[in-house]
Chains A and B, each alone.
Chain A
């Protein structure tokens, strides 16, 4: 069964690009435009095997999203990768502390993306 990945990013372009890379690699992709949307998706019963989330988003940013997502019952152990830029060391550290598994630095190439996902997601 293919693994499901939830992509959270406010940029439709970024979502489209990530989705394409992930689908080519055989993942099922769910998307959300910000943290609020993503949380309601998770509450509605979607249980991704991994979450990719942007940090800078309106409504609910990535940091708050990670904190809120970890508090949901089914999301305690789910790997979460934060999408950051190279200048965001502080954000990365904060995200990691709050429960992110790791991070990717934008722009993320398709091959790198899949490589990192395989590193954190057993059986991917």
Chain B
């Protein structure tokens, strides 16, 4: 499981799979002010990217993996 939920923060570790997208979406629906910690994320499936783009949650930490961070920043900060 690449998702861990702590109160208002979802912490993503390693890879977010396509199946995780629904869980993430559910959580974001229930926690409209929820934040996402992506620092340990190495990859996330496009479905998750889509959910993040639609929800625009606050990112409390960007991925340490620079190329991934660059793309997610581009997607979330137009």
Contacts and interface: CB of A to CB of B under 8 A. Distances in A.
Interface of A: 77, 122-123
Contacts of A122: 15, 43, 45
A24 B14 CA distance: 24
B19 interface: yes
10 contacts: A77-B17, A77-B18, A77-B19, A122-B15, A122-B43, A122-B45, A123-B14, A123-B15, A123-B42, A123-B43
A59 to B, nearest CB: 30
Contacts of A77: 17-19
Interface string B13-48: 011011100000000000000000000001101000
Interface of B: 14-15, 17-19, 42-43, 45
Contacts of B17: 77
B17 to A, nearest CB: 8
A122 B42 CA distance: 10
Nearest to B42: A123
Contacts of A123: 14-15, 42-43
A122 B17 CA distance: 9
A122 B14 CA distance: 11
A52 B59 CA distance: 37
